Amino acid sequence: MLALRVGFLWLVGYIFFVFHGLSFHLTPWSQAFVNAIVKYTYDPGGHRGQNDVTVVLFREENLQHMGVPYPMPYGVHAEILDALASYHPRAVFVDFAFIDEREDSRGMADALCGLGRPKDGPPIPVFIAAPSGTAVQQALLRCAKAASPEMQEPEGVSGVLTYASRGTPDSQGTPEGLRTAAFALAATNPALGFDSRDLEEPLEIIWGKGVAPLNRKWMKCKEPSLGAGIGAMLKEGPLALRIACPYTRTITVGHLLNFSNDDDIKTALGGRTVLYGAGFRLTGDQVDSPVYAQLPGVYLHAMAYDNLVTFGKSYKRARRTGLTAKITDAVLLLIASVILVRYPRRPSHPPATFAEVKRRIRDAVIAGAVAAITLLVIVWVGGFDIGLLAVFAAYVLYRWRVTEDRGFVLLVGVTLGTALFYYYVMNLGPRNILAFLVFFEVVRHVQKHVKEAAERYVELRAREDHAPQGPFWRLTDAWLSRYVESAAGANGRGEITHETQETGTPR
Amino acid sequence: MKLRKPVPLASGLALAWLCASVVAAPAQTPGKAHALGRVVKLRIENVSLCEQPNGTKCQPYPRTQFKDPWPVLDRSPQGLLQVQVGERKVWVRGYAVETDVPFRVEADCGAVVASKQPRVGATRGVGEECVAETKK
């Protein structure tokens, strides 16, 4: 009989999951939790990826300052590549697509060769962006290789979370698709120990949360005040507070060309993996992420490569919709259903006197005020991420100690354990843990209403003289009768209906 | 009590000597009075020496020819350094040379890299060529 209830709950829960709605609406909050956790868990000690990667950004202001129009002459790119070569980077990805033939293509090709085959050092892998369906100037591929700059579709409010290992196959020479920029760069880094088979599965990007120290020296990274932050979160949701400065260490073309004897520039470029891209207005080359405000597209490749450096062969696979993920989701929901049936929520005891009502209201107001002040202090000292995690921890504690809801606490443990298993063993991206927990609450309410309806049905049917007729009613009768029997059996383990509590007489 | 007087006097003399030595040190370097710094090395094989402060009209200068340091005289709004090469005053890019002191010309300060971009229904550069044709 228990199997019947477990099966029913599992079905209800899975419907919530399969039909997108619940988890979709909870995504902003779930993503905010993930962002907060990632802030403290993504490569906390070493910052291997952040140390290895540098973005050289051609900004709108650099165009004006240098007095060059858009699109820039190839000669300007050539000078920038010359400057890059002088710092001896480990590898370079040029996030510009050179499709049109220009008068100065030869100078550009020479600059690429100067960068890729230096006379005073080992060869440097150089890649040029080659979007699918376009043809990069062949002359430029003499000393450089083509790499796909393909960007996946954003996933709702979370932005771009996946990164393909190869671009769209092109029948004109790359039937299996070019490697994407991050994967192409990773394949050239022997320190990462990848072989070609390791770099075929698409990546789920973990957007590291933080700002590279060098960026703070020249970017405007001011964060909103406590009041403004709370206001923005209440008005626009938990993902309203996006960071204005990127995680990846960045210098501009201005820094590159005009600085001399600068240790920061030498450190940022010497032996590093450099991605050279643009942040121009009205060009559409922008990426949405769950952590940062809109960034130039080159940061997508930089973050993806950062993930490959940070996680190595254990990089997080983009298999959210794969069969394995679906099966593990189903198993988790089944466990949750068993917990729901085995550990039903204990009903609250209604106050017996008016004095008790007053006492409860007073206690609730005091507890609420203390909680609010504590939360404000936590947010003020540790930031919004710590505040969000503190709210979650406090809620679990409340359900455990105050409402004595062991089932909820067990489920939190199981969900977190499963999320860690997904992340560290199966190498999948962070799961929508909040949706699991809300599923638990929603299904519990559904279960309560179904049970009440079944009890009412059995009670009314008992007053009827005639047994139900027809296959549909016979099936309904059999199902609901057994459901009520199983629920009555569970009452012995602590599940009490409101009716039995009020009358004191078990049915 | 008798010993107290010479102590401030000695301290004052020592301080004066220290200040004088600090001021005197740059003055002992000939030809550096008006220089902002010096180019001590060329970082690339052929450095472009430009006549204009915006980096135009340039001539390559081989690294092998570099011998004595070049005094840095000025900085251009476009970010180039003016250097004295023999009798000539020319402009070079900062990255191409190694200077004895750091030069950070026209740094991008207070830049906003990530921001919420307004959605627009336009493509950059449409019609620019037409305007150029009309001007001719």
- Same domain? For A58 and A166 the reply is yes
Residue A500 has pLDDT above 80, yes or no: no
B contact residues 34-53, partner A, Cβ 8 Å cutoff: 43-45
Examine residue B61 and state whether it is found in any structural domain, yes or no.
Answer: yes
Q: Do A289 and A432 have their domain in common?
A: no
Mean model confidence pLDDT for chain A = 85
- Does residue A367 belong to any structural domain of this protein? no
| A420-445 average pLDDT score | 80
A152-156, A187-191, A277-281, B32-36 — which is least confidently predicted? Answer: B32-36
In a domain, A494, yes or no: yes
Q: Which of A68-72, A186-190, A500-504 has the lowest mean pLDDT?
A: A500-504
Q: Which of A20-29, A434-443, A474-483, B19-28 has the lowest mean pLDDT?
A: B19-28
Residue B120 counted as domain residue: no
Q: What value does the mean pLDDT take over residues B70-98?
A: 92
Gap between the Cα atoms of B49 and B92, Å rounded = 5
User: What residue type is assigned to position A292 of the chain?
Assistant: Y
Query: Which CATH number does the domain housing residue B53 bear?
Result: 2.30.30
Do A116 and A10 share a structural domain?
Answer: no
Q: Is residue B118 part of a domain?
A: no
Residue B68 resides in a domain: yes
Within this chain, do residues A22 and A74 fall inside the same structural domain, yes or no? Answer: no
Structural domain span for residue B44: 37-103
Cβ within 8 Å of A, B 68-97: 77-81, 93-97
A217-246 per-position pLDDT tens digit: 999 888 888 888 888 888 888 888 888 899
Residues 6+ apart with CB under 8 A from A295: A246, A286, A287, A289, B113, B114
Indicate the average pLDDT of chain B.
74
In the numeric block, the tokens 């990848």 are attached to: A194
**Residue range(s) defining the domain that contains residue A467:** 2-28+320-348+403-503
| A285 domain-assigned | yes
| Amino acid making up residue B135 | K
Q: Check pLDDT > 60 for residue B10.
A: no
Residue pLDDT, tens place only, A356-397? 999 999 999 999 999 999 999 999 988 888 998 999 999 999
pLDDT at A12 over 90: no
- pTM value is 0.82
B109 interfacial to chain A (CB closer than 8 Å): yes
Q: Indicate the residue of A242, A256, A295 with minimum beta-carbon distance to B113.
A: A295
Do A108 and A148 lie in one domain? The reply is yes
Pair (A23, A129) in one structural domain = no
Task: Tell me, yes or no, whether A83 and A194 share the same domain.
Answer: yes
Q: How confident is the model at residue A16 (pLDDT cuts 50, 70, 90)?
A: low
Whether residues A447 and A431 fall in one domain? yes
CB A58 within 8 A of CB A252: yes
Count of domains observed in chain B: 1
* Cβ contact A295–B114 (<8 Å): yes
Give yes or no for residue B117 having a pLDDT over 80: no
Task: State the number of CA atoms in the 13 A half-sphere of A97 facing the CB.
Answer: 16
Residue A212 lies in a domain: no
Instruction: Please judge whether A254 and B110 are an interchain contact, meaning their C-beta atoms are less than 8 angstroms apart.
Output: no
Instruction: Establish if B25 belongs to a structural domain.
Output: no
Evaluate whether ipTM surpasses 0.90.
no
Do A481 and A332 have their domain in common? yes
Q: Are A260 and B54 in contact (CB < 8 Å)?
A: no
H or E, element range at A53: strand A53-59
Tell me, yes or no, whether A288 and A337 share the same domain. no
Q: Is residue A478 part of a domain?
A: yes
Which residue in chain B has the smallest CA separation from A250?
B113
Q: Write out the two tokens for A462.
A: 């008992």
Closest CA to A424 of A304, A311, A306: A311
**Domain identity same for A181 and A266:** yes
**Contact flag B106-A258 (C-beta cutoff 8 Å):** yes
Mean pLDDT of the region A201-218: 92
Q: Is residue A169 part of a domain?
A: yes
How many domains does one find in chain A? 2
Whether B119 is covered by a domain: the verdict is no
Condensed to tens digits (0 to 9), the pLDDT of residues A109-135 reads 999 999 999 988 899 999 999 988 888
Indicate if the pLDDT at residue A321 is higher than 80. no
Say whether both A166 and A266 belong to one domain: yes
Q: Is residue A471 part of a domain?
A: yes
Q: How would residue B69 be classed by pLDDT, with cut points 50, 70 and 90?
A: very high
Checking if the pLDDT of A21 tops 70, the result is: no
Amino acid residing at A364: A
B122 occurs within a structural domain: no
In whole angstroms, give the CA distance from residue A88 to residue A116. Answer: 10
Task: Say yes or no to pLDDT of B4 above 60.
Answer: no
Map A422-463 to HEC letters: HHHHCCECCCCHHHHHHHHHHHHHHHHHHHHHHHHHHHHHHH
Give the pLDDT of residue A490: 56
High-pLDDT (> 90) share of chain A, %: 37
The band of A439, judged by pLDDT with boundaries at 50, 70 and 90, is confident
